[in-house]
Amino acid sequence: MLLKNVRTFAPQDLGSVDIFVGYSKVLAVESGIGSMPIETKTFDLSNFILTPGLIDLHVHFAGAGGEGGPLFRAEPLSVSSLLESGITTAVGLLGTDSYARSVMEVLQKAYALEAQGISTYIFTGSYKIPPITITGDVAVDIIAIEKVLGLKAAIADHRSSHPTVEEFMRLASQVRVAGILSGKVGIFHLHVGTCPDPLYIVRETNKRTSIPLYHFLPTHMNRNEAILEEALKFALEGGNVDFTAISDMNCPQAYEAVIHLLEAGVPLDRITVSSDAGGSSPLFDSEGHLLDVRITTPEDLMTQFLRMLDVIGPEKALAVFSTNPAERLGLGCKGKIEVGFDADFLIFDNTWNLAGVVAKGRLVWGKI
Protein backbone atom coordinates (compact mmCIF):
# COMPACT_ATOMS: atom_id res chain seq x y z
CA MET A 1 0.00 0.00 0.00
CA LEU A 2 1.30 3.44 -0.96
CA LEU A 3 -0.34 6.57 0.44
CA LYS A 4 0.60 9.63 -1.62
CA ASN A 5 0.66 13.33 -0.78
CA VAL A 6 -1.04 13.03 2.60
CA ARG A 7 -0.79 15.65 5.35
CA THR A 8 0.60 13.58 8.19
CA PHE A 9 0.64 14.05 11.95
CA ALA A 10 2.90 11.34 13.35
CA PRO A 11 1.97 12.86 15.90
CA GLN A 12 4.38 15.68 14.95
CA ASP A 13 3.40 17.54 11.80
CA LEU A 14 5.36 16.04 8.88
CA GLY A 15 3.61 18.09 6.24
CA SER A 16 2.62 16.34 3.01
CA VAL A 17 4.50 13.04 2.57
CA ASP A 18 4.22 9.61 0.96
CA ILE A 19 3.96 6.52 3.15
CA PHE A 20 4.79 3.03 1.92
CA VAL A 21 3.31 0.12 3.87
CA GLY A 22 4.11 -3.58 3.63
CA TYR A 23 3.85 -6.65 5.84
CA SER A 24 1.68 -4.61 8.26
CA LYS A 25 4.54 -2.16 8.92
CA VAL A 26 5.53 1.34 7.85
CA LEU A 27 8.43 0.79 5.44
CA ALA A 28 9.04 4.36 4.26
CA VAL A 29 7.98 7.92 5.09
CA GLU A 30 9.34 10.22 2.39
CA SER A 31 8.43 12.88 -0.11
CA GLY A 32 8.01 11.84 -3.73
CA ILE A 33 8.20 8.06 -3.54
CA GLY A 34 8.25 6.92 -7.17
CA SER A 35 7.02 3.78 -8.88
CA MET A 36 7.36 0.55 -6.94
CA PRO A 37 9.13 -2.59 -8.23
CA ILE A 38 6.10 -4.69 -7.28
CA GLU A 39 2.38 -4.22 -7.82
CA THR A 40 1.23 -1.81 -5.11
CA LYS A 41 -2.21 -0.42 -4.31
CA THR A 42 -1.80 3.36 -4.42
CA PHE A 43 -4.06 6.03 -2.92
CA ASP A 44 -3.74 9.74 -3.67
CA LEU A 45 -4.67 11.41 -0.38
CA SER A 46 -3.96 15.00 -1.36
CA ASN A 47 -7.07 16.29 0.39
CA PHE A 48 -6.80 14.10 3.49
CA ILE A 49 -5.07 14.01 6.88
CA LEU A 50 -3.29 10.95 8.29
CA THR A 51 -2.75 10.20 11.99
CA PRO A 52 -1.88 7.20 14.15
CA GLY A 53 -4.86 5.07 15.17
CA LEU A 54 -6.39 5.64 18.59
CA ILE A 55 -5.28 3.27 21.37
CA ASP A 56 -8.05 2.55 23.88
CA LEU A 57 -6.52 1.11 27.04
CA HIS A 58 -9.81 0.54 28.88
CA VAL A 59 -12.64 -1.01 26.86
CA HIS A 60 -15.12 -3.71 27.87
CA PHE A 61 -15.19 -5.36 24.46
CA ALA A 62 -16.55 -8.62 25.89
CA GLY A 63 -19.38 -6.74 27.60
CA ALA A 64 -19.74 -5.62 31.20
CA GLY A 65 -22.22 -3.88 33.45
CA GLY A 66 -24.99 -5.61 35.34
CA GLU A 67 -25.75 -3.01 37.98
CA GLY A 68 -29.53 -3.00 38.00
CA GLY A 69 -29.84 -6.69 37.17
CA PRO A 70 -29.51 -8.99 34.17
CA LEU A 71 -31.38 -6.64 31.82
CA PHE A 72 -28.56 -4.12 32.24
CA ARG A 73 -25.74 -6.44 31.13
CA ALA A 74 -23.91 -4.78 28.24
CA GLU A 75 -23.43 -6.83 25.09
CA PRO A 76 -19.99 -7.50 23.57
CA LEU A 77 -18.76 -4.84 21.16
CA SER A 78 -18.45 -5.40 17.43
CA VAL A 79 -15.22 -4.68 15.59
CA SER A 80 -17.10 -2.19 13.41
CA SER A 81 -18.10 -0.14 16.47
CA LEU A 82 -14.42 0.17 17.40
CA LEU A 83 -13.18 0.92 13.89
CA GLU A 84 -15.77 3.59 13.15
CA SER A 85 -14.58 5.28 16.36
CA GLY A 86 -10.97 5.26 15.17
CA ILE A 87 -9.78 2.56 17.59
CA THR A 88 -7.09 0.33 16.09
CA THR A 89 -5.76 -1.08 19.38
CA ALA A 90 -8.00 -2.02 22.31
CA VAL A 91 -7.28 -3.37 25.80
CA GLY A 92 -10.16 -5.40 27.25
CA LEU A 93 -11.04 -6.03 30.87
CA LEU A 94 -13.78 -7.03 33.27
CA GLY A 95 -15.84 -4.64 35.37
CA THR A 96 -18.04 -5.08 38.43
CA ASP A 97 -19.29 -8.53 37.45
CA SER A 98 -16.66 -11.22 37.88
CA TYR A 99 -19.22 -13.83 38.90
CA ALA A 100 -21.16 -14.37 35.66
CA ARG A 101 -18.22 -13.21 33.54
CA SER A 102 -14.62 -14.43 33.32
CA VAL A 103 -11.20 -13.24 32.21
CA MET A 104 -11.08 -16.16 29.77
CA GLU A 105 -14.18 -14.72 28.11
CA VAL A 106 -12.35 -11.41 27.66
CA LEU A 107 -9.30 -13.20 26.25
CA GLN A 108 -11.37 -15.13 23.72
CA LYS A 109 -13.07 -11.93 22.57
CA ALA A 110 -9.62 -10.36 22.21
CA TYR A 111 -8.58 -13.18 19.88
CA ALA A 112 -11.78 -12.76 17.86
CA LEU A 113 -11.26 -9.01 17.41
CA GLU A 114 -7.62 -9.61 16.48
CA ALA A 115 -8.76 -12.01 13.76
CA GLN A 116 -11.10 -9.29 12.49
CA GLY A 117 -8.26 -6.87 11.94
CA ILE A 118 -7.40 -4.81 15.04
CA SER A 119 -4.76 -5.28 17.74
CA THR A 120 -5.97 -6.41 21.16
CA TYR A 121 -4.67 -6.98 24.66
CA ILE A 122 -6.29 -7.52 28.06
CA PHE A 123 -5.90 -7.01 31.78
CA THR A 124 -6.48 -9.96 34.08
CA GLY A 125 -8.55 -9.48 37.26
CA SER A 126 -11.70 -7.43 37.82
CA TYR A 127 -12.93 -5.20 40.64
CA LYS A 128 -12.38 -7.71 43.40
CA ILE A 129 -9.36 -8.72 45.45
CA PRO A 130 -8.19 -11.50 45.61
CA PRO A 131 -8.36 -11.22 41.83
CA ILE A 132 -9.86 -13.73 39.44
CA THR A 133 -7.40 -14.90 36.79
CA ILE A 134 -7.06 -17.41 33.96
CA THR A 135 -4.28 -19.58 35.37
CA GLY A 136 -4.98 -19.08 39.07
CA ASP A 137 -2.03 -16.72 39.53
CA VAL A 138 -1.72 -13.05 38.54
CA ALA A 139 1.97 -13.30 37.73
CA VAL A 140 1.54 -16.45 35.64
CA ASP A 141 -1.23 -14.79 33.61
CA ILE A 142 1.09 -11.88 32.79
CA ILE A 143 4.16 -14.01 32.11
CA ALA A 144 2.57 -16.87 30.17
CA ILE A 145 -0.17 -15.15 28.14
CA GLU A 146 1.14 -12.68 25.58
CA LYS A 147 -2.03 -10.58 25.49
CA VAL A 148 -2.14 -10.01 29.26
CA LEU A 149 -0.44 -6.68 30.03
CA GLY A 150 -1.25 -6.41 33.72
CA LEU A 151 -3.87 -6.55 36.46
CA LYS A 152 -7.08 -4.61 36.96
CA ALA A 153 -8.63 -3.95 40.39
CA ALA A 154 -10.94 -1.42 42.02
CA ILE A 155 -10.04 0.94 44.86
CA ALA A 156 -11.88 3.68 46.77
CA ASP A 157 -15.25 2.41 45.53
CA HIS A 158 -18.25 0.95 47.37
CA ARG A 159 -18.15 -1.94 44.85
CA SER A 160 -14.48 -2.72 45.50
CA SER A 161 -13.10 -5.33 47.93
CA HIS A 162 -11.55 -2.62 50.14
CA PRO A 163 -8.12 -4.27 50.28
CA THR A 164 -5.68 -3.53 53.06
CA VAL A 165 -2.41 -1.82 52.21
CA GLU A 166 -0.61 -5.12 52.77
CA GLU A 167 -2.90 -6.99 50.37
CA PHE A 168 -2.47 -4.27 47.78
CA MET A 169 1.31 -4.25 48.20
CA ARG A 170 1.52 -7.99 47.55
CA LEU A 171 -0.50 -7.67 44.35
CA ALA A 172 1.61 -4.73 43.18
CA SER A 173 4.74 -6.81 43.80
CA GLN A 174 3.33 -9.65 41.70
CA VAL A 175 2.59 -7.27 38.85
CA ARG A 176 6.07 -5.74 38.99
CA VAL A 177 7.91 -9.06 39.12
CA ALA A 178 5.74 -10.48 36.34
CA GLY A 179 6.49 -7.44 34.22
CA ILE A 180 10.22 -7.86 34.76
CA LEU A 181 10.15 -11.57 33.94
CA SER A 182 7.94 -11.20 30.87
CA GLY A 183 9.58 -8.14 29.37
CA LYS A 184 6.35 -6.17 29.74
CA VAL A 185 5.77 -2.96 31.66
CA GLY A 186 3.46 -4.67 34.14
CA ILE A 187 0.48 -2.37 34.65
CA PHE A 188 -1.66 -2.29 37.78
CA HIS A 189 -4.76 -0.70 36.28
CA LEU A 190 -6.99 0.81 38.95
CA HIS A 191 -10.68 1.63 38.75
CA VAL A 192 -10.96 4.60 41.13
CA GLY A 193 -14.23 5.40 42.88
CA THR A 194 -15.33 8.39 44.92
CA CYS A 195 -14.16 7.51 48.44
CA PRO A 196 -12.04 10.12 50.26
CA ASP A 197 -8.27 10.12 49.64
CA PRO A 198 -8.72 7.61 46.81
CA LEU A 199 -5.04 7.14 45.97
CA TYR A 200 -3.80 6.75 49.55
CA ILE A 201 -3.21 3.02 49.05
CA VAL A 202 -1.10 3.67 45.94
CA ARG A 203 1.06 6.29 47.65
CA GLU A 204 1.50 4.10 50.72
CA THR A 205 2.52 1.14 48.57
CA ASN A 206 5.03 3.25 46.68
CA LYS A 207 6.45 4.60 49.94
CA ARG A 208 6.73 1.25 51.70
CA THR A 209 7.90 -0.92 48.79
CA SER A 210 9.66 1.45 46.36
CA ILE A 211 7.59 -0.06 43.55
CA PRO A 212 7.80 2.68 40.89
CA LEU A 213 4.74 4.80 40.24
CA TYR A 214 4.78 3.96 36.53
CA HIS A 215 3.30 0.54 37.32
CA PHE A 216 0.08 2.14 38.62
CA LEU A 217 -2.51 3.55 36.24
CA PRO A 218 -5.59 4.98 37.99
CA THR A 219 -8.55 5.56 35.68
CA HIS A 220 -11.89 7.41 35.83
CA MET A 221 -9.93 10.31 37.31
CA ASN A 222 -12.44 12.84 35.95
CA ARG A 223 -15.33 11.21 37.81
CA ASN A 224 -16.01 14.46 39.69
CA GLU A 225 -14.19 17.68 40.54
CA ALA A 226 -12.66 16.27 43.73
CA ILE A 227 -11.25 13.23 41.93
CA LEU A 228 -9.91 15.49 39.18
CA GLU A 229 -7.96 17.43 41.80
CA GLU A 230 -6.58 14.10 43.07
CA ALA A 231 -5.48 13.36 39.50
CA LEU A 232 -3.69 16.69 39.34
CA LYS A 233 -1.93 16.07 42.65
CA PHE A 234 -0.88 12.53 41.70
CA ALA A 235 0.40 13.58 38.28
CA LEU A 236 2.46 16.40 39.79
CA GLU A 237 3.96 13.80 42.15
CA GLY A 238 5.13 11.81 39.12
CA GLY A 239 2.21 9.45 38.61
CA ASN A 240 0.28 8.69 35.44
CA VAL A 241 -3.48 9.26 35.16
CA ASP A 242 -6.21 8.15 32.79
CA PHE A 243 -9.43 10.02 32.10
CA THR A 244 -12.68 8.52 30.84
CA ALA A 245 -14.24 9.77 27.60
CA ILE A 246 -17.86 9.96 28.73
CA SER A 247 -19.50 12.80 26.82
CA ASP A 248 -22.94 13.16 28.41
CA MET A 249 -22.52 12.61 32.15
CA ASN A 250 -22.44 15.24 34.89
CA CYS A 251 -18.68 15.16 35.37
CA PRO A 252 -15.67 17.03 33.98
CA GLN A 253 -15.24 16.11 30.32
CA ALA A 254 -12.02 14.31 29.45
CA TYR A 255 -10.78 17.13 27.23
CA GLU A 256 -11.48 19.63 30.02
CA ALA A 257 -9.59 17.44 32.50
CA VAL A 258 -6.57 17.20 30.19
CA ILE A 259 -6.47 20.95 29.66
CA HIS A 260 -6.81 21.54 33.42
CA LEU A 261 -3.76 19.37 34.12
CA LEU A 262 -1.68 20.88 31.32
CA GLU A 263 -2.43 24.41 32.51
CA ALA A 264 -1.32 23.38 36.02
CA GLY A 265 2.05 22.20 34.73
CA VAL A 266 1.56 18.44 34.39
CA PRO A 267 3.81 16.98 31.67
CA LEU A 268 1.80 15.86 28.65
CA ASP A 269 3.25 12.36 28.70
CA ARG A 270 1.58 11.52 32.03
CA ILE A 271 -1.96 11.78 30.64
CA THR A 272 -4.11 9.32 28.69
CA VAL A 273 -7.81 9.06 27.82
CA SER A 274 -9.78 5.82 27.37
CA SER A 275 -13.40 5.07 26.46
CA ASP A 276 -14.68 2.60 29.10
CA ALA A 277 -16.85 1.47 26.17
CA GLY A 278 -19.13 -1.51 26.69
CA GLY A 279 -19.32 -0.86 30.41
CA SER A 280 -22.03 0.65 32.53
CA SER A 281 -21.94 4.07 34.10
CA PRO A 282 -24.39 3.77 37.00
CA LEU A 283 -25.86 6.76 38.80
CA PHE A 284 -26.47 6.40 42.55
CA ASP A 285 -28.26 8.76 44.92
CA SER A 286 -26.75 10.10 48.15
CA GLU A 287 -27.90 7.00 50.03
CA GLY A 288 -26.40 4.57 47.53
CA HIS A 289 -29.58 3.61 45.68
CA LEU A 290 -29.19 2.92 41.97
CA LEU A 291 -31.05 5.53 39.94
CA ASP A 292 -29.99 4.97 36.35
CA VAL A 293 -27.48 3.12 34.17
CA ARG A 294 -25.85 4.34 30.96
CA ILE A 295 -23.95 1.96 28.70
CA THR A 296 -20.81 3.67 27.45
CA THR A 297 -19.87 3.61 23.75
CA PRO A 298 -16.63 3.63 21.73
CA GLU A 299 -17.67 6.77 19.85
CA ASP A 300 -17.15 8.80 23.04
CA LEU A 301 -13.40 8.42 22.51
CA MET A 302 -13.48 10.02 19.07
CA THR A 303 -15.81 12.76 20.36
CA GLN A 304 -13.35 13.72 23.08
CA PHE A 305 -10.39 13.50 20.71
CA LEU A 306 -11.99 15.94 18.29
CA ARG A 307 -12.94 18.33 21.08
CA MET A 308 -9.40 18.25 22.43
CA LEU A 309 -7.94 18.70 18.95
CA ASP A 310 -9.85 21.97 18.59
CA VAL A 311 -8.31 23.32 21.80
CA ILE A 312 -4.72 22.02 21.94
CA GLY A 313 -4.09 20.97 18.34
CA PRO A 314 -3.53 17.59 16.70
CA GLU A 315 0.02 16.95 17.91
CA LYS A 316 -0.83 17.16 21.62
CA ALA A 317 -4.23 15.50 21.20
CA LEU A 318 -2.65 12.54 19.40
CA ALA A 319 -0.09 12.20 22.17
CA VAL A 320 -2.90 11.75 24.71
CA PHE A 321 -4.95 9.33 22.59
CA SER A 322 -2.22 7.38 20.73
CA THR A 323 1.42 7.94 21.66
CA ASN A 324 1.05 8.08 25.44
CA PRO A 325 -1.18 4.96 25.67
CA ALA A 326 1.33 3.02 23.56
CA GLU A 327 4.20 4.06 25.81
CA ARG A 328 2.18 3.45 28.96
CA LEU A 329 1.41 -0.11 27.89
CA GLY A 330 4.87 -0.84 26.51
CA LEU A 331 3.65 -1.23 22.92
CA GLY A 332 6.86 -0.08 21.30
CA CYS A 333 5.69 -0.31 17.69
CA LYS A 334 2.43 1.61 18.09
CA GLY A 335 1.27 5.17 18.60
CA LYS A 336 3.46 6.83 15.95
CA ILE A 337 3.86 6.92 12.19
CA GLU A 338 7.51 5.98 11.80
CA VAL A 339 9.51 3.46 9.81
CA GLY A 340 9.29 0.09 11.56
CA PHE A 341 6.08 0.91 13.42
CA ASP A 342 2.78 -0.89 12.92
CA ALA A 343 0.74 0.57 10.07
CA ASP A 344 -2.28 1.64 12.14
CA PHE A 345 -3.65 4.88 10.67
CA LEU A 346 -6.71 7.08 10.67
CA ILE A 347 -7.60 8.96 7.49
CA PHE A 348 -9.58 12.18 7.97
CA ASP A 349 -10.89 14.60 5.40
CA ASN A 350 -9.64 18.16 5.67
CA THR A 351 -12.38 19.06 8.17
CA TRP A 352 -11.49 16.15 10.49
CA ASN A 353 -14.32 13.80 9.55
CA LEU A 354 -13.13 10.19 9.75
CA ALA A 355 -12.97 8.75 6.23
CA GLY A 356 -10.96 5.55 6.62
CA VAL A 357 -9.11 3.29 9.03
CA VAL A 358 -5.97 1.29 8.26
CA ALA A 359 -5.06 -1.44 10.76
CA LYS A 360 -2.06 -3.73 10.38
CA GLY A 361 -1.48 -2.29 6.94
CA ARG A 362 -4.96 -3.00 5.58
CA LEU A 363 -7.83 -0.63 4.86
CA VAL A 364 -10.40 -2.13 7.22
CA TRP A 365 -13.04 0.61 7.39
CA GLY A 366 -14.24 3.41 5.14
CA LYS A 367 -13.72 4.28 1.51
CA ILE A 368 -10.94 6.49 0.17
User: Would you state the pLDDT for residue 248?
Assistant: 63
For residue 13, the tally of other CB atoms under 10 A from its CB is: 11
User: Would you state the pLDDT for residue 1?
Assistant: 95
User: pLDDT (tens digit, 9 = 90+) per residue, 293-311?
Assistant: 777 899 999 999 999 999 9
Q: How far is CA 355 from CA 47, 251, 324, 351, in A?
A: 11, 30, 24, 11
In whole angstroms, give the CA distance from residue 243 to residue 270.
11
Q: What is the DSSP letter of 71?
A: G
In whole angstroms, give the CA distance from residue 84 to residue 357.
8
Dihedral, CA atoms, 126, 132, 136, 142, nearest 10 degrees?
0
What's the rounded mean pLDDT across residues 153-158?
95
Where in the chain do CATH 3.20.20.140 domains reside? 54-329
In whole angstroms, give the CA distance from residue 284 to residue 339.
49
Name the maximum alpha-carbon separation found in the chain: 70
Verify cis geometry, omega within 30 degrees of 0, for the bond prior to 11.
Answer: yes
Please answer whether residues 52 and 323 qualify as being in contact, where contact means their C-beta atoms are separated by less than 8 angstroms.
yes
Q: Which CATH class is domain 2-52+335-366?
A: mainly beta
Q: How far is CA 228 from CA 223, 254, 263, 354, in A?
A: 7, 10, 13, 30
Please answer whether residues 78 and 31 qualify as being in contact, where contact means their C-beta atoms are separated by less than 8 angstroms.
no
What's the rounded mean pLDDT across residues 308-324?
98
The beta strand positions in 60-165, using DSSP E, are: 87-92, 119-125, 148-155
Whole-number percent of the chain with pLDDT over 90: 86
User: Would you state the pLDDT for residue 294?
Assistant: 72
Q: What's the first-to-final CA gap in the chain, in angstroms?
A: 13
pTM to 2 decimal places: 0.96
User: Would you state the pLDDT for residue 329?
Assistant: 99
What's the rounded mean pLDDT across residues 176-183?
99
Whole-number percent of the chain with pLDDT over 70: 96
Reference 329, options 77, 178, 122; nearest CA is 122
Where in the chain do CATH 2.30.40.10 domains reside? 2-52+335-366
User: pLDDT (tens digit, 9 = 90+) per residue, 119-140?
Assistant: 999 999 999 999 999 999 999 9
Catalytic residue among 18, 141, 157, 276: 276
Q: What is the DSSP letter of 19?
A: E
In whole angstroms, give the CA distance from residue 58 to residue 94.
10
User: Would you state the pLDDT for residue 327?
Assistant: 99
User: pLDDT (tens digit, 9 = 90+) per residue, 203-228?
Assistant: 999 999 999 999 999 999 999 999 99
User: Would you state the pLDDT for residue 66?
Assistant: 65
User: pLDDT (tens digit, 9 = 90+) per residue, 14-40?
Assistant: 999 999 999 999 999 999 998 777 889
Q: How far is CA 154 from CA 94, 150, 195, 238, 240, in A?
A: 11, 14, 11, 21, 16
> Is position 349 annotated as part of the catalytic site?
no
The topology (CATH level 3) of 54-329 is TIM Barrel (3.20.20)
pLDDT classification of 62: cutoffs 50, 70, 90: very high
Reference 108, options 96, 122, 98, 119; nearest CA is 122
pLDDT classification of 65: cutoffs 50, 70, 90: confident
**Residue 84 pLDDT greater than 90, yes or no:** yes
